[in-house]
Amino acid sequence: MRALLIFGLGYTATRIARAMAGQGWQVRATGRAGDIAFADRSAVLAALAEASHVLSSVPPDRASGADPVLAAYGESLAGKALFYLSSTGVYGDRQGAWVDEATPTIAEEGEGRRNARAEADLAWLGRGARVFRLPGIYGPGRSALDRVRAGAARRIALPGQVFSRVHVDDIASGVAAALAQDAPAGAYNLGDDLPCSGNEVTEYACRLLGVEPPPLETLDEAQLSPMARGFYMENRRIANGKAKRVLGWRLRYPTYVEGLAALREA
């Protein structure tokens, strides 16, 4: 039996765990929903000894860029098939241009959270990991529908601004495909087929719910947190061709239209 150890059993990794358990894998995990405490070194090392594959969804330290998993257990990862959930934030602002896995990351240029993620991304790649660069993640309980219902949806007036996004179940299917076939090491972008503005997604969610969209605001009027404002300062389109070619990845929700419609029905 193949055995997977997941560091950080959060929103996305939980779906991956279910997918692999459904394929007959033994799955153990750290995190609030996992069965092992990250700080319980003896338990983690015992699980690592049994694991053939390791997946980390633990974010790096924002200030130092250090990866907690590599810092604590890096010496015990030798010989394991490694998988890491990263972010398309490593590409930085590309002024709306398409980016693929060959696009340089910002590890030497960015700052704060983006730079930390880029450094961790490169550290895992240096160990021969399969690194999944993820854009905005949505799914049950975390979508434009939920923001509209909660009165928290925004429309920001930024002409030409586009983002990529991906349904959490499509991430799970992509990572599961890579795990099952021991995909070649390297980076994989897992984004959907239709990068577009956040306003377009919010407006569609409002139509599905039969409510008026929120008013347009300038970036200054919105009074966003520094992190949220930084998100709006980046503009890029994520190409997903490599994952489709190499992993045989097929999107269940190729755009937000299918994804939000399914969430509305559910």
Of 193, 189, 157, 163, the residue nearest 96 (C-alpha) = 163
- In this prediction, residue 262 carries a pLDDT of 98
- Domain extent at residue 243: 3-265
- In this prediction, residue 232 carries a pLDDT of 84
Written as tens digits, the pLDDT of the chain (266 aa) is 799 999 999 999 999 999 999 999 999 999 989 999 999 999 999 999 999 999 999 999 877 778 999 999 999 999 999 999 999 999 989 999 999 999 999 855 555 567 788 889 999 999 999 999 999 999 999 999 999 999 999 999 999 999 999 999 999 999 999 999 999 999 999 999 999 999 999 999 999 999 999 999 998 888 888 777 877 888 999 999 999 999 999 999 999 999 999 999 99
- In this prediction, residue 214 carries a pLDDT of 96
Residues 40 and 237: their CA atoms lie apart, in Å, by: 41
CB 64 within 8 A of CB 14: no
Determine the 3-state secondary structure of 124 from DSSP: helix
- In this prediction, residue 107 carries a pLDDT of 58
Of 241, 246, 127, 86, the residue nearest 181 (C-alpha) = 246
Question: Tokens representing 253?
Answer: 């929700």
Of 188, 216, 201, the residue nearest 148 (C-alpha) = 201
In DSSP notation, 24-43 reads: T-EEEEBSTTSSB-TT-HHH
Name the strand (E) or helix (H) holding 86: strand 81-87
- In this prediction, residue 111 carries a pLDDT of 53
- In this prediction, residue 223 carries a pLDDT of 84
- In this prediction, residue 122 carries a pLDDT of 92
C-alpha dihedral over 64, 9, 12, 86, to 10 degrees?
30
CB 251 within 8 A of CB 192: yes
Determine the 3-state secondary structure of 70 from DSSP: helix
- The Cβ of residue 114 has, within 10 Å, a number of other Cβ atoms equal to 22
Q: What is the pTM of this model?
A: 0.95
Counted domains in the chain: 1
What CATH code is carried by the domain that includes residue 103?
3.40.50.720
